[in-house]
Every structure is written in C-alpha cells, then in structure tokens.
A and B are shown apart, each in its own frame.
Chain A
Amino acid sequence: MTKNSPNKNPAAPEPARPNTAKMIVWAVVAVALVAAAYLLFKPSTPQTGAPAAGAGAVVNVDTAKIQELQGQGVRIVDVRSPGEYEGGHIPGAVNEPIDTFAQSSASWDKTQPVIIYCQSGNRSQIAIDQLKQSGYQGTIYHLANGIMEWSGPTEQGPASAAPALKPTATPVMYEFFTGW
C-alpha cells in the first residue's frame, strides 16, 4: 500500500489571504500617514533630536568680520566660564557660560544673527548645536578657533549691564511676567 502524502482537498476554500494582505497594507499606509502628519505638524520644542526646519546657517568668521558685524549691532556671546570671560573677552561680548547656555538662550530672539565664541572653538560648537536644535533661524557666526585666533583688543572684567543700570544699594532681581 503506497503511502500517499495528504492531498489538499481541492474543494477546500482558499484561505482569505488576499483580503488580509490588503488590510495589512492599508494599515501600514494609515500608520505611515499619521506618523508623517505628526512629524510635519507637531509644534517644535527645544531639545528635540532633529534640528527644526529652517535652522540658521552657521558661518565661520574672523576678527575683521566680527568687528564689522559688531558695527552693525550683531550681538556677540562668550560661552566660557565667568572667570575666563573676566580674564579677557572680546569687547562688547556678553557672557553666557556653556553649562547654562540652553536656558539662557531660550529667551533670545531666534530670528536675529548672533556671534558665538569660546576659548578654542569646542564649547562654542556645542552652543551652536544647541541653538540649531532649538530651531534658531538667524545666522550664527562662529569664531571657529575661539578667542585664541582673535587679533583685536580685549576687555577685562565682568559684563557691563545691557541696560544702563545704575548701581543700587542692594542687588536686584527683576521679574517680568504676565497676568496670572
């Protein structure tokens, strides 16, 4: 007696594979569409992984270019520690140390150009990356090799206050808020 391999019963209905496959394809497409819509329309928040669309261009500059930009009123930021800053900084630069840079820069006008530097270019690069991650739109000028390549005069001591603040008897904390 020969052993027969079991035959498929020709009358058995085909498993409903084509329909299931179609459903799976549509489900994948739907998920992909939702994901795409989310990525396109989600509000950009600081410190997301990818840079927001339209992040500011980064331009390496030298001493002469920085002096020209400063003449045009572009803000210059020194991201070194206060001690390094006070030891000698580019005149007119404000000090925003890198360890609190993300928080300080959160209040900046993101459409304005800005010049960033540090000692040798490492910390300023970190600052620039943070700005780009937060969706900075304005042009970011970078003194790529830091103040080491600065050939202009330097200023010593702490920052002069941005507004013309008169000395006061005690220190002051300003708070700007809107209605509770």
Chain B
Amino acid sequence: MKPVVDGLEKEYKGKVEFRRYNVDNDTKGQELMQQFGARYVPTFVFVNSDGSISKQLVGENDKALMAAELDKLK
C-alpha cells in the first residue's frame, strides 16, 4: 500500500493534503482514528476542505479507486 499512497501523494501534491499516522506509536493518530470510528488498519478517510467526510475506506485499495475518491474531494 505504501508505494501506492506515496505515488498518489506526489500526484495530488498541492491539491490534497495527506496526513498519515502510524497508530503503533502515534497517540494523536490513535485518537483521530477512534474519532473517525475506524477499527482496522489501514483506514483512509477522505475529508473535504469544509471538514465534511467524503469517504472512509478500509484495507488495501487499488490506486484507481483511491484516485477516484481523491478526485471527488472539494
């Protein structure tokens, strides 16, 4: 998953901010993850710039699917 997300991060640089949390050791990440109601890793939460949640995805997803969700963000 990491190479896919790395690639997307570069592609969407300036358009979407990627905030990535290793919840093994990041308490802020753990807190956020709980707030989103996510239970499993990896979980991806797509949030519009007004703070509304566009989508939540769990598990490995292919690049095309993730890109589609990133494109929907406003």
Could you tell me which A residues sit within 8 Å of B by CB distance? Answer: 75, 94, 100, 103-104, 106-109, 158-180
Contact = CB atoms under 8 A, between A and B. Distances in A.
Contacts of A176: 21, 23, 29, 32-33, 36, 38, 41-45
Given A75-B37, A170-B16, 19 more contacts: A107-B56, A162-B36, A163-B32, A163-B35, A165-B53, A169-B17, A169-B49, A170-B49, A171-B47, A171-B73, A172-B18, A173-B44, A174-B47, A175-B19, A175-B20, A175-B43, A176-B21, A176-B23, A176-B32
A34 to B, nearest CB: 31
A21 B69 CA distance: 62
A172 B43 contact: no
Interface in B35-65: 35-59
Contacts of B45: 173-174, 176
Interface of B: 1-2, 5, 12, 14-24, 29, 32-33, 35-59, 69-70, 73-74
